[in-house]
Amino acid sequence: MSRTFWAPGRVNLIGEHTDYTGGLALPVALDLGITIRGDATDGPSRLESPDGDPQRYADAVAAELDALGRPPVGFEGRIESTLPIGAGLSSSAALEVAVATALCAVADWPLEPLQLAEAAQRAEHRATGMPCGIMDQAASVLGRAGHAILLDTGTLMYEAVPLPEELALVVVDSGVRRRLEHSGYATRRAELERALAGADDPVSLRRLRHVETENERVREVAAILRTEPVDRARLGELFRAGHESLRDDFEVSVPELDELVDLAYAAGAAAARMTGGGFGGSIVALVETDRSAAFVDDVVGRYGGSATAWLAHAADGAREMTRGT
Ligand code: GLA
């Protein structure tokens, strides 16, 4: 008998590069993600995929769960993904969380969702060396349909924040992929840690200013989303300020993302900014639902490169789908 497990990718509304210093983030789990079909095996765990090599992620997740005491039950399965890779939508976190969900289930060994997310985060460190925070894996386990997740990465407290029905969530993938994404991320993290330890050179002060102002923006965006009618003008200002802070103070944007954000506002977005770690990837926009189809055509048509855009939907987090073949 085969079993099916699912874990979503995420798009972050706001709160970028705050999750490794105990700050706030507001991610949304997507209706795009990773499906794993398979079952327990007597032999070692094996995962196959039509694209890429998931085995090193699977091995890293298994090692982290074994360290927590998971009974040694192997899993053999096949992976399918509906997430574009490298678009900044956390395809690797979704893979780690899906594998962890499957490994816990076949061993009949339940783990608290946030403990599972933390094991998946450590697996990312182990498999790739990328010193990521907890946001992506937490969003993948905590996601809730129709909601964003306000996550305090210092306390791991979280609340679901409803997304207004009149605003559609649009993701635009710039098509830009940077090979240096991981080392750029590690450099920024180290710079921020130096700043927090008291360095007061101009670069450190700008890195710190980004994080401090970004945490305030997350608080304000969450409050706006919870208040009817949604203050679109202020939402737009906060997203724009968030983008500019990532561009100028944290220096993780690229010209293509800046261009897409400008095009999004010109095409009538209520709010738009780059999303994810940066150095390429995607922007996120909130657009009046009635205008979202025209918006997508407009932004993609005017962009200098080759972008892919789609309407995204906030979905539930990782789980086992109905059992059976
Ligand atoms: C990547 C990391 C996350 C987070 C974001 C930036 O997605 O995996 O932990 O730091 O970048 O907000």
Predicted TM-score (pTM) of the model is: 0.96
Cα distance between the two ends of the chain = 6
pLDDT of 214 strictly over 70: yes
Q: Tell whether ligand 1 has an atom less than 6 A from the beta carbon of residue 120.
A: no
Catalytic residue among 53, 59, 66, 136: 136
**Distance (Å, whole) CA 29 – CA 212:** 25
pLDDT of 209 strictly over 90: yes
What is the rounded average pLDDT of the residues 132-161?
A: 98
Q: How confident is the prediction for the chain on average, in pLDDT?
A: 95
What is the rounded average pLDDT of the residues 15-19?
A: 98
What is the per-residue pLDDT for 40? 96
Give residue 179's pLDDT band: very low, low, confident or very high (50, 70, 90).
low
Handedness of CA 287, 293, 294, 295 (dihedral sign): positive
CA of residue 135 to ligand 1 center, whole Å: 6
What is the per-residue pLDDT for 219? 98
Q: What are the tokens at 275? A: 């999303």
pLDDT of 29 strictly over 90: yes
Q: What are the tokens at 217? A: 């923006």
pLDDT of 242 strictly over 50: yes
What is the per-residue pLDDT for 161? 98
Strands 157-162 and 282-288, by their bridges, are: unpaired
Catalytic site includes residue 248: no
Per residue in 256-305, pLDDT (tens digit) is: 999 999 999 999 999 999 999 999 999 999 999 999 999 999 999 999 98
pLDDT of 325 strictly over 50: no
Q: Tell whether ligand 1 has an atom less than 6 A from the beta carbon of residue 19.
A: yes
Q: Tell whether ligand 1 has an atom less than 6 A from the beta carbon of residue 119.
A: no
Residue nearest to atom 9 of ligand 1 (CA): 133
Continuous H helices in the chain: 55-67, 91-106, 113-128, 135-142, 181-196, 202-225, 232-244, 255-266, 292-302
Per residue in 295-315, pLDDT (tens digit) is: 999 999 999 989 999 999 999
CA of residue 136 to ligand 1 center, whole Å: 7
Please give the backbone phi and psi of residue 255, each rounded to the nearest 5 degrees, phi first. -55, -35
What is the per-residue pLDDT for 50? 84
What is the per-residue pLDDT for 203? 96
Q: Tell whether ligand 1 has an atom less than 6 A from the beta carbon of residue 132.
A: yes
Contact between 296 and 170 under an 8 Å Cβ cutoff? The reply is yes
**Residue type at 243 in one-letter notation:** H
Q: Tell whether ligand 1 has an atom less than 6 A from the beta carbon of residue 256.
A: no
pLDDT of 180 strictly over 80: no
pLDDT of 143 strictly over 50: yes
What is the rounded average pLDDT of the residues 194-216?
A: 97
Go through the domains of the chain in sequence order and give each one's CATH number: 3-160 (3.30.230.10), 163-312 (3.30.70.890)
Strands 3-12 and 24-25, by their bridges, are: unpaired
Q: Which residues of 311-323 are buried (b: 16+ CB within 10 A; e: fewer)?
A: ebebbebbbeeee
Per residue in 105-141, pLDDT (tens digit) is: 999 999 999 999 999 999 999 999 999 999 999 999 9
